[in-house]
Amino acid sequence: MTDLANIINALQLNVLTKQKDFSQIQVENGYTSDLLSCVMAGAPHNSVWVTLQAHQNIIAVAALLDLTAIIITEGATPDQNTIDKANEEGVNLLQTQYNSFFTIGKLWELGIRSGK
């Protein structure tokens, strides 16, 4: 378990949504899939979700599941609408140039596990 500030720092993530005190946000679990229904079924709440998807619907999924953050990989960039919606729903959007496999490896090193 670690906090979101530590993750952002260690993975050098780009914060797309509003800055906040990420050190207060604890992260226990992680999940990855690019299929939204699988995320719906499998992501533990308060987890970080690693995905290649960058369209608006990922925000609804994260909000409904109370996910801590979404890490969008391979430099995929959501549009402004998606970022606005994320701010509205309080979902943290993070971005990396690395691919999902590398990102998950790093998260594992930080002590993030799959939860279920």
Partner 1 sequence: MVANHPQKKRIITDQEAENISRVEELAYEIKVSEVMTNNLFCFSPDGKMEEVLEVFRQKRISGAPIISKNGELIGIISMEDLIRCLVDTDLQSKIEKYMTKKLTSILPTDPVIEASKKFVSTNFGRLLVVDKNQKLVGMITKGDINRGLLRALETDYQEEEIRIYRASHLFEDIESDRTSLILRYQIHQGDFDKGGQASSNIKRALLRLGASKQIARRCGIAIYEAEMNLIIHTTEGGVLRVEIEPHQISIDAYDYGPGIKDVDQAMKAGYSTATDAVREMGFGAGMGLVNISRCVDHMKLESVWGKGSRLKMRLFLDVENIKKEIAED
Query: Minimum distance between the CB of residue 11 and partner 1, rounded to whole angstroms?
Result: 22
List, in sequence order, the alpha helices (H) in the chain.
4-10, 36-42, 57-65, 80-89, 100-109
**Residue 10 or residue 40: which is nearer to partner 1 going by CB?**
40
Whose CA is closest to 61, among 81, 45, 73, 79?
Answer: 45
Residues near partner 1 (CB under 8 A): 34-38, 40-41, 45, 51, 53, 55-61, 63-66, 81, 89
Q: Which is nearer to partner 1, 9 or 57 (CB)?
A: 57
Which residues in 64-96 are b (16+ Cβ under 10 Å) and which e?
ebebbbbbbbeeeebeeebbebbeeeebbbbbb
Q: Is the dihedral of CA 111, 44, 22, 80 positive or negative?
A: positive
User: What is the closest distance, in whole angstroms, from the C-beta atom of residue 62 to partner 1 in the complex?
Assistant: 10
Nearer to partner 1, 88 or 109 (CB): 88
Report, in Å, the least distance between residue 40 CB and partner 1: 5
Q: Residue 10 or residue 38: which is nearer to partner 1 going by CB?
A: 38
Minimum distance from residue 113 beta carbon to partner 1 (Å): 19
